[in-house]
Amino acid sequence: MNPGLNQITREVLLIVGALFPIVNPLGTAPIFLTLTQGLPDASRAVLARKVALNGFVLLLAAIFVGNYILAFFGLSLPVVQVGGGLIVFSTGWRLLQSHGDDKPSKLMSIAEAEKRAFYPLTLPLTVGPGTISVAITVGANHPQGSATNLTALVAGSAIVALTIYLSYRFAQGIARAVGEAAMNVILRLSSFILVCIGVQIVWNGVTALLGTVR
Protein backbone atom coordinates (compact mmCIF):
# COMPACT_ATOMS: atom_id res chain seq x y z
CA MET A 1 0.00 0.00 0.00
CA ASN A 2 1.11 3.56 -0.69
CA PRO A 3 2.89 4.90 2.45
CA GLY A 4 0.97 8.18 2.23
CA LEU A 5 -2.36 6.35 1.99
CA ASN A 6 -1.31 4.10 4.84
CA GLN A 7 -0.62 7.11 7.04
CA ILE A 8 -3.93 8.76 6.12
CA THR A 9 -5.78 5.54 6.98
CA ARG A 10 -4.09 5.34 10.38
CA GLU A 11 -4.85 9.00 11.10
CA VAL A 12 -8.51 8.61 10.05
CA LEU A 13 -8.93 5.59 12.32
CA LEU A 14 -7.42 7.52 15.24
CA ILE A 15 -9.72 10.49 14.65
CA VAL A 16 -12.83 8.32 14.29
CA GLY A 17 -11.77 6.37 17.37
CA ALA A 18 -11.54 9.60 19.37
CA LEU A 19 -14.80 11.16 18.16
CA PHE A 20 -17.20 8.24 17.61
CA PRO A 21 -17.50 7.00 21.22
CA ILE A 22 -18.37 10.44 22.58
CA VAL A 23 -20.73 11.32 19.70
CA ASN A 24 -22.32 7.88 20.19
CA PRO A 25 -25.02 8.17 17.50
CA LEU A 26 -26.33 4.67 18.24
CA GLY A 27 -26.96 5.66 21.85
CA THR A 28 -28.66 8.95 21.00
CA ALA A 29 -30.79 7.49 18.17
CA PRO A 30 -33.68 6.57 20.55
CA ILE A 31 -33.63 10.13 21.93
CA PHE A 32 -33.66 11.53 18.38
CA LEU A 33 -36.64 9.30 17.66
CA THR A 34 -38.51 10.57 20.73
CA LEU A 35 -37.79 14.24 19.99
CA THR A 36 -39.08 13.79 16.42
CA GLN A 37 -42.15 11.82 17.46
CA GLY A 38 -45.02 12.45 15.05
CA LEU A 39 -42.86 13.03 11.99
CA PRO A 40 -43.46 10.83 8.93
CA ASP A 41 -40.50 8.66 7.91
CA ALA A 42 -39.66 10.80 4.88
CA SER A 43 -39.46 13.97 6.98
CA ARG A 44 -37.38 12.21 9.63
CA ALA A 45 -34.96 11.09 6.90
CA VAL A 46 -34.56 14.72 5.76
CA LEU A 47 -34.01 15.79 9.35
CA ALA A 48 -31.42 13.04 9.91
CA ARG A 49 -29.50 14.32 6.89
CA LYS A 50 -29.61 17.89 8.18
CA VAL A 51 -28.40 16.86 11.65
CA ALA A 52 -25.55 14.84 10.12
CA LEU A 53 -24.54 17.79 7.93
CA ASN A 54 -24.74 20.19 10.87
CA GLY A 55 -22.68 17.78 12.94
CA PHE A 56 -20.05 17.55 10.19
CA VAL A 57 -19.76 21.34 9.99
CA LEU A 58 -19.57 21.66 13.79
CA LEU A 59 -16.83 19.04 14.01
CA LEU A 60 -14.76 20.77 11.33
CA ALA A 61 -15.31 24.16 12.97
CA ALA A 62 -14.20 22.81 16.35
CA ILE A 63 -11.18 21.08 14.84
CA PHE A 64 -9.94 23.94 12.68
CA VAL A 65 -11.04 27.15 14.43
CA GLY A 66 -12.36 26.09 17.84
CA ASN A 67 -9.43 27.51 19.78
CA TYR A 68 -9.59 30.81 17.89
CA ILE A 69 -13.34 31.22 18.52
CA LEU A 70 -12.91 30.63 22.25
CA ALA A 71 -10.03 33.11 22.36
CA PHE A 72 -12.04 35.71 20.44
CA PHE A 73 -14.86 35.63 22.98
CA GLY A 74 -12.49 35.32 25.91
CA LEU A 75 -13.86 31.91 26.86
CA SER A 76 -11.96 28.98 28.27
CA LEU A 77 -12.73 25.36 27.41
CA PRO A 78 -13.71 24.52 31.03
CA VAL A 79 -16.36 27.28 30.97
CA VAL A 80 -17.79 25.85 27.74
CA GLN A 81 -17.82 22.41 29.37
CA VAL A 82 -19.74 23.67 32.42
CA GLY A 83 -22.33 25.57 30.36
CA GLY A 84 -22.76 22.85 27.76
CA GLY A 85 -22.80 20.10 30.38
CA LEU A 86 -25.72 21.78 32.13
CA ILE A 87 -27.67 21.83 28.85
CA VAL A 88 -26.91 18.14 28.23
CA PHE A 89 -27.97 17.32 31.79
CA SER A 90 -31.26 19.23 31.45
CA THR A 91 -32.07 17.52 28.13
CA GLY A 92 -31.43 14.07 29.56
CA TRP A 93 -33.36 14.84 32.75
CA ARG A 94 -36.39 16.08 30.80
CA LEU A 95 -36.43 12.91 28.69
CA LEU A 96 -35.95 10.75 31.78
CA GLN A 97 -39.02 12.34 33.40
CA SER A 98 -41.20 12.08 30.28
CA HIS A 99 -43.85 9.39 30.00
CA GLY A 100 -43.09 6.71 27.45
CA ASP A 101 -46.73 6.42 26.46
CA ASP A 102 -47.13 10.12 25.64
CA LYS A 103 -48.47 10.64 22.15
CA PRO A 104 -48.14 13.81 20.09
CA SER A 105 -51.36 15.82 19.84
CA LYS A 106 -50.67 16.50 16.17
CA LEU A 107 -48.14 15.60 13.54
CA MET A 108 -45.12 17.86 13.60
CA SER A 109 -44.57 19.68 10.32
CA ILE A 110 -41.18 19.48 8.62
CA ALA A 111 -40.87 23.25 9.08
CA GLU A 112 -41.25 22.84 12.85
CA ALA A 113 -38.80 19.94 12.81
CA GLU A 114 -36.22 21.91 10.85
CA LYS A 115 -36.21 24.53 13.59
CA ARG A 116 -34.96 21.77 15.89
CA ALA A 117 -32.35 20.48 13.45
CA PHE A 118 -29.54 22.56 14.93
CA TYR A 119 -30.80 23.03 18.48
CA PRO A 120 -31.31 20.72 20.29
CA LEU A 121 -30.87 17.83 17.84
CA THR A 122 -27.37 18.71 16.62
CA LEU A 123 -26.17 20.81 19.54
CA PRO A 124 -26.04 19.60 22.29
CA LEU A 125 -27.70 16.19 21.68
CA THR A 126 -25.42 14.90 18.92
CA VAL A 127 -22.36 17.15 18.93
CA GLY A 128 -22.23 18.43 22.48
CA PRO A 129 -19.61 20.20 24.57
CA GLY A 130 -17.78 16.95 25.25
CA THR A 131 -17.47 16.25 21.54
CA ILE A 132 -16.43 19.83 20.82
CA SER A 133 -13.71 19.72 23.47
CA VAL A 134 -12.38 16.44 22.06
CA ALA A 135 -12.53 17.84 18.50
CA ILE A 136 -10.58 20.94 19.56
CA THR A 137 -7.97 18.67 21.16
CA VAL A 138 -7.80 16.52 18.02
CA GLY A 139 -7.23 19.63 15.91
CA ALA A 140 -4.51 20.88 18.25
CA ASN A 141 -2.70 17.53 18.11
CA HIS A 142 -2.78 17.29 14.29
CA PRO A 143 -0.75 20.07 12.59
CA GLN A 144 -3.00 21.46 9.87
CA GLY A 145 -0.21 22.52 7.53
CA SER A 146 0.15 18.93 6.34
CA ALA A 147 -2.01 17.74 3.44
CA THR A 148 -2.10 14.27 5.00
CA ASN A 149 -3.44 15.60 8.29
CA LEU A 150 -5.97 17.87 6.55
CA THR A 151 -7.28 14.94 4.52
CA ALA A 152 -7.47 12.71 7.60
CA LEU A 153 -9.30 15.36 9.69
CA VAL A 154 -11.93 15.95 7.01
CA ALA A 155 -12.34 12.25 6.20
CA GLY A 156 -12.59 11.27 9.87
CA SER A 157 -15.24 13.91 10.53
CA ALA A 158 -17.15 12.81 7.42
CA ILE A 159 -17.19 9.18 8.60
CA VAL A 160 -18.54 10.21 12.02
CA ALA A 161 -21.21 12.34 10.29
CA LEU A 162 -22.16 9.35 8.14
CA THR A 163 -22.67 7.20 11.25
CA ILE A 164 -24.93 9.95 12.65
CA TYR A 165 -27.04 9.92 9.49
CA LEU A 166 -27.35 6.12 9.33
CA SER A 167 -28.18 5.80 13.05
CA TYR A 168 -30.87 8.50 12.92
CA ARG A 169 -32.19 7.61 9.47
CA PHE A 170 -32.93 4.01 10.46
CA ALA A 171 -33.87 4.66 14.10
CA GLN A 172 -37.55 4.06 13.32
CA GLY A 173 -36.82 0.71 11.65
CA ILE A 174 -34.72 -0.36 14.63
CA ALA A 175 -37.56 0.68 16.96
CA ARG A 176 -40.04 -1.43 15.01
CA ALA A 177 -37.69 -4.41 15.11
CA VAL A 178 -37.03 -4.35 18.87
CA GLY A 179 -40.60 -3.45 19.90
CA GLU A 180 -42.14 -0.61 21.88
CA ALA A 181 -41.38 -2.00 25.36
CA ALA A 182 -37.71 -2.63 24.60
CA MET A 183 -37.40 0.77 22.91
CA ASN A 184 -38.82 2.45 26.00
CA VAL A 185 -36.20 0.70 28.14
CA ILE A 186 -33.45 1.79 25.72
CA LEU A 187 -34.77 5.37 25.83
CA ARG A 188 -34.68 5.41 29.64
CA LEU A 189 -31.16 4.02 29.69
CA SER A 190 -30.02 6.47 27.00
CA SER A 191 -31.59 9.38 28.88
CA PHE A 192 -29.90 8.31 32.12
CA ILE A 193 -26.56 8.00 30.35
CA LEU A 194 -27.13 11.47 28.86
CA VAL A 195 -27.70 12.84 32.38
CA CYS A 196 -24.49 11.16 33.55
CA ILE A 197 -22.57 12.54 30.56
CA GLY A 198 -23.85 16.02 31.42
CA VAL A 199 -22.70 15.64 35.03
CA GLN A 200 -19.31 14.32 33.90
CA ILE A 201 -18.81 17.23 31.47
CA VAL A 202 -19.75 19.75 34.18
CA TRP A 203 -17.40 18.04 36.65
CA ASN A 204 -14.53 18.10 34.14
CA GLY A 205 -15.08 21.81 33.62
CA VAL A 206 -15.42 22.59 37.34
CA THR A 207 -12.31 20.55 38.16
CA ALA A 208 -10.31 22.43 35.54
CA LEU A 209 -11.62 25.79 36.82
CA LEU A 210 -10.82 24.90 40.44
CA GLY A 211 -7.31 24.02 39.33
CA THR A 212 -6.81 27.63 38.25
CA VAL A 213 -7.72 28.98 41.68
CA ARG A 214 -4.77 29.78 43.87
The model's pLDDT over 84-117, given as tens digits with 9 standing for 90+, comes to 788 878 878 887 887 655 544 445 566 777 788 9
| 126-162 pLDDT tens trace | 998 888 988 988 887 777 778 888 999 999 999 999 9
What does pLDDT average to over the chain? 85
Q: Across residues 49-70, what is the average pLDDT?
A: 94
Q: What is the DSSP string of the chain?
A: --HHHHHHHHHHHHHHHHHHHHH-HHHHHHHHHHHTTT--HHHHHHHHHHHHHHHHHHHHHHHHHHHHHHHHTT--HHHHHHHHHHHHHHHHHHHHHS-TT---SSPPPHHHHHHTIIIIIIIIIIS-HHHHHHHHHHHHHS-TTSHHHHHHHHHHHHHHHHHHHHHHHTHHHHHHHH-HHHHHHHHHHHHHHHHHHHHHHHHHHHHHHHTT--
| 23-50 pLDDT tens trace | 989 889 998 988 888 788 888 999 999 9
**For position 104, what pLDDT does the model report?**
44
